Structure 1
Amino acid sequence: MRLKKYTDYALRVLIYTSSLPEGELARKKEISDVFHISENHLGKIIHQLNKLELIETIRGRSGGIKLAKEPRDINIGYVVRAMEDDFLLLECFDNDTNYCVITPACKLRHVLNDALRAFLEVVDNYTLYDLLSNKDELRELMDIT
């Protein structure tokens, strides 16, 4: 299974934003430079995170983004589900487009469905706070002073 870059980048935005010193706002340009993500693509991600009420955007010259919730209140499983548009691992996961002839007898679909459930169960056990246990190291790597 592979998460989309969109989800990866959303998690990076949350990690970056929560790694800043208290009261400091993240800026799209800074995040773009640190992670080598286009500002245009980042804008879409920030917009969706804002719609999900995970971050707040402050407009204007001294604007930026900040977390809308405490890191302990941002569940990683929720973020992954919200950012991914589907979890169709194989053709047979989508009844509308499944043309595989062995589907009625195939056990692979069930095995991978169990694996997907297990993956989601694991990420549901973590919050953004859990990803920040090494905040000093993260700040150094992201050049946050």
Structure 2
Amino acid sequence: MRLTTRTNLAMRTLMFCAANPGRTVRKQEIAQTCNASENHLAQVIHLLARAGYLKTVRGRSGGLTLGRRAEDIRVGEVFRSFEAVLPFTECQAGPENTCPLIGCCSLKCVLQEALEAFYAVLDRTTVRDLVTGNTELVHLLKVA
């Protein structure tokens, strides 16, 4: 499994905000620190804000902060909101499925079980868990 760039940027953005509590951070700071395109990051920030993970403030002194407490943002929830729009396999694609094996293939069940286990682990982890006690990460993400 490979995560989409959007999911990766979403998690980096949330960790960046969590590493800078009480501070409004700027998109440019995140892009520079995380080696990301500002245009791509803007799309991710928009989606995160729409889902309530971020609060955004427009204008000269604008930027973004976490929309919820870091301990209330589950990694699995974020991953689902970004990854669930794409089916993991063709057989999970619903009406677009053209696999001739759909009626007798057991792989679909195994993959579904594996995916559920993957998300179960992510559901146990919060954004706070990723940042708290991780001094090296906080040092990299902290805005001076």
- TM-score (ref. length: structure 2): 0.91
2:90 counterpart of 1:91: yes
> Offset of 1:137 from its aligned partner?
1.1
Per the alignment, residue 17 of structure 1 pairs with 17
SS of residue matched to 1:88? coil
Per the alignment, residue 28 of structure 1 pairs with 27
Per the alignment, residue 123 of structure 1 pairs with 122
SS of residue matched to 2:94? coil
RMSD: 1.6
CA–CA separation in structure 1 for the residues paired with 2:138 and 2:132: 12
Per the alignment, residue 73 of structure 2 pairs with 74
CA contact (8 A) 2:19 2:142 kept: no
Question: 1:100 corresponds to which letter in structure 2?
Answer: C
Worse-matched range after superposition: 102-111 or 7-16: 102-111
* 1:57-92, Cα deviation, whole Å (9 max, x unpaired): 112211111112111111111111112243522222
Residue segments in structure 1 that go unaligned for 5+ positions in a row = none
CA contact (8 A) 1:77 1:126 kept: yes
2:9 counterpart of 1:4: no
* 1:26-64, Cα deviation, whole Å (9 max, x unpaired): 100111111121111111111111111111111221111
CA contact (8 A) 1:92 1:100 kept: yes
The 5-angstrom pairing of residues 30-45 of structure 1 reads: 30-45=29-44
CA contact (8 A) 2:19 2:141 kept: no
Question: 1:56 corresponds to which letter in structure 2?
Answer: K
Q: How many residues align?
A: 144
Aligned-pair identity in percent equals 38
Residue segments in structure 2 that go unaligned for 5+ positions in a row = none
CA contact (8 A) 1:19 1:135 kept: no
- TM-score (ref. length: structure 1): 0.90
